[in-house]
Amino acid sequence: MGLTVFPVFLSELPQCYQPNIITKGLLKPMNQKELNELRRRWKPDKNAISRVYGCFVNGNKEIITDLDESLGMVTQEEAEKYLSLLKKALSGALGKNLIDIVFSTQQVMTGEEHRMLMELRTSGAKDARVRQAFYQKVIQSLDMGESNYLLLLASDSYDVPHRNRDALRAEGSDEVFSYILCAVCPVKTGKTELGYFSGDNEFHCAASQTVAAPELGFLFPAFDNRSANIYNALFYSRKEEELHQEFIDAVFHIDLPMSAAEQREAFESALSESLGSACSLEIVQAIHGQLAAMIEEHRETKDPEPLTVSPCEVSKIILDCGASEEQAEAFQAACGERFGAGAVLNPANLIDAKKVELKTEKVSLSIDPEYSHLVEAKVIDGQKVLIVPVEDHLEFNGVAVNVNRDKE
């Protein structure tokens, strides 16, 4: 692997990345502990946010009004609401709702999109010219259907405290982490209701306009190793299966990583294709069980770094669960086609560890994963059947029913 010298922006990188020569690939995504540390900032008494900026956009991509609000001049309730909406752009799970955005070296050096983000960050979002250019880039690209939405933008400066083992110490700091947070919130129109208008001292019919939780948003730069990483951003999508590629193209100009839903679909397809006729309930149950056990073990260790596996490691699990070596190798090849060479997978994106669902054309059966091994698939008298053992209790739509023995 070659080495690349970056003569600019080195002061923005974490200290561990600040030698004169930086090896590509050293930068890493944010982990859970770093994300939680930032989330705790978004309370009125914890942050350094003085103003919230944004614009209200209608379904015709027109700005109805600009927002430039001093949090010190609004009520505490309104300030908390603004901060709560922005904080939701840091919600969800890493790798699912929160997607790591990685800029290339060339983009950091000369890219228009990265330069705009840096200007927003450097100015604390106070430069109206840059804000308007950013608004237009978002408005012209983002597809929100005919919905109105509120685009929110805020800048914060976090005096990062020293960490002593697992505890944070308030006195002293290594650096000030300056960043911007953006949230795109749908504005929903309620039912037309009769209400009292104090200004007119009259009753009128009107429909309320309510700002909903963000549909998408982002943090820039990433908070990596408790420091600024300008080579990464963190993108948020409320729906993990709808990542708004058009927004990512315009704001970041990168190819979007596969969504969690796409990863699961690709994994299921690779598994089914490679196992072929050997893709039995027993083998798939065993594979699901081993991956679920890995997820639970990682959760119990409280490791802030995300759990990852390679297709090679998953192929060994498949082998342990009863597949042949040929099928395990076919699985690796199928993963290479779908995920690319050298892919690193998150098991939580491959399976739903909290649910097991069996489906036929006419029947759907939901099972607690802990007891899924009790279900069997067999052929009896030429008929494919599922066998579900029943102990003392069985309900049909909430009604307790009995299981009678066949009459002899």
Q: Is the peptide bond before 369 cis (omega within 30 degrees of 0)?
A: no
User: In this predicted structure, what is the pLDDT of residue 265?
Assistant: 92
Residue 16 in this model has a pLDDT that exceeds 70: no
pLDDT in tens, 152-162: 999 999 998 87
pLDDT in tens, 370-386: 888 888 888 888 888 88
pLDDT in tens, 109-130: 999 999 999 999 999 999 999 9
* DSSP-assigned letter for residue 239: S
Q: When comparing pLDDT for 65 and 383, which is higher?
A: 65
Euclidean distance between CA atoms 321 and 183, whole angstroms: 44
- Under a CB-based contact definition with an 8 Å cutoff, are residues 22 and 240 in contact? no
Q: Is 33 exposed, middle or buried (0-12, 13-18, 19+ CB in 10 A)?
A: middle
User: In this predicted structure, what is the pLDDT of residue 376?
Assistant: 85
Q: Answer yes or no: do 229 and 309 share one domain.
A: no
Q: Answer yes or no: do 155 and 296 share one domain.
A: no
pLDDT band at 26 (very low <50, low <70, confident <90, very high): very low
Q: Answer yes or no: do 288 and 177 share one domain.
A: no
User: In this predicted structure, what is the pLDDT of residue 362?
Assistant: 83
Q: When comparing pLDDT for 246 and 45, which is higher?
A: 246
Euclidean distance between CA atoms 7 and 362, whole angstroms: 64
Euclidean distance between CA atoms 189 and 195, whole angstroms: 15
The three-state secondary structure class of 42 is coil
Per-residue H/E/C for 280-330: CHHHHHHHHHHHHHHHHHHHHHCCCCCCCECHHHHHHHHHHCCCCHHHHHH
**Domain membership flag for residue 402:** no
- Under a CB-based contact definition with an 8 Å cutoff, are residues 200 and 208 in contact? no
pTM, full prediction: 0.78
pLDDT band at 141 (very low <50, low <70, confident <90, very high): very high
Q: What is the average pLDDT across 55-66? A: 94
Q: Answer yes or no: do 34 and 91 share one domain.
A: yes
Per-residue H/E/C for 67-132: EEEEHHHCCHHHHHHHHHHHHHHHCCCECCCEEEEECCHHHHHHCHHHHHHHHHHHCCCCCHHHHH
> In the Cβ-directed half-sphere of 52, how many Cα atoms lie within 13 Å?
25
The per-residue pLDDT of the chain, averaged, comes to 85
Q: Answer yes or no: do 145 and 271 share one domain.
A: no
152's CB contacts (< 8 A; 6+ apart) are: 52, 53, 54, 67, 82, 85, 86, 182, 183, 184, 185, 214
**Domain membership flag for residue 405:** no
User: In this predicted structure, what is the pLDDT of residue 231?
Assistant: 95
pLDDT in tens, 255-298: 877 888 889 999 999 999 999 988 888 999 899 999 999 999 98
- Under a CB-based contact definition with an 8 Å cutoff, are residues 277 and 324 in contact? no
Phi-psi region of 197 (alpha: psi -120 to 50; beta: other; left: phi over 0): beta
State which of 230, 251, 272 marks the end of a domain. 251
Nearest residue to 30 (alpha-carbon basis) of 98, 115, 119, 88: 98
pLDDT band at 329 (very low <50, low <70, confident <90, very high): very high
pLDDT in tens, 213-251: 999 999 999 999 889 999 999 999 999 888 899 999 999
Q: What is the average pLDDT across 375-404? A: 84
State which of 234, 251, 268 marks the end of a domain. 251
For residue 221, how many other CB atoms are within 10 A of its CB? 26
Q: Answer yes or no: do 226 and 350 share one domain.
A: no
Highest-confidence range of 113-122, 326-335, 338-347, 399-408, by mean pLDDT?
Answer: 113-122
Q: How many domains does the chain have?
A: 2
- Look-up of token digits 């960490």: 163
Euclidean distance between CA atoms 53 and 130, whole angstroms: 12
**Domain membership flag for residue 404:** no
Q: Answer yes or no: do 221 and 147 share one domain.
A: yes
Instruction: Write the CA distances from 273 to 1, 304, 328, 340, integer angstroms.
Output: 34, 34, 11, 17
Q: Answer yes or no: do 156 and 55 share one domain.
A: yes
State which of 224, 251, 278 marks the end of a domain. 251
Out of 215-224, 236-245, 311-320, 340-349, least confident range: 340-349
Q: Answer yes or no: do 149 and 100 share one domain.
A: yes
User: In this predicted structure, what is the pLDDT of residue 3?
Assistant: 35
Q: Answer yes or no: do 105 and 200 share one domain.
A: yes
pLDDT band at 325 (very low <50, low <70, confident <90, very high): very high
Q: Answer yes or no: do 83 and 156 share one domain.
A: yes
Range of the domain at 344: 260-396
**Domain membership flag for residue 123:** yes
pLDDT in tens, 160-191: 887 765 555 555 566 899 999 999 999 988 88
For residue 219, how many other CB atoms are within 10 A of its CB? 24
Sign of the C-alpha dihedral computed for residues 122, 128, 132 and 135 taken in this order = positive
Highest-confidence range of 118-127, 312-321, 395-404, by mean pLDDT?
Answer: 118-127
Residue ranges of alpha helices (H) inside 125-219 are 128-141
- Look-up of token digits 């450097």: 122
Q: Answer yes or no: do 247 and 265 share one domain.
A: no
- How much of the chain exceeds pLDDT 90, in percent? 47
User: In this predicted structure, what is the pLDDT of residue 169?
Assistant: 57
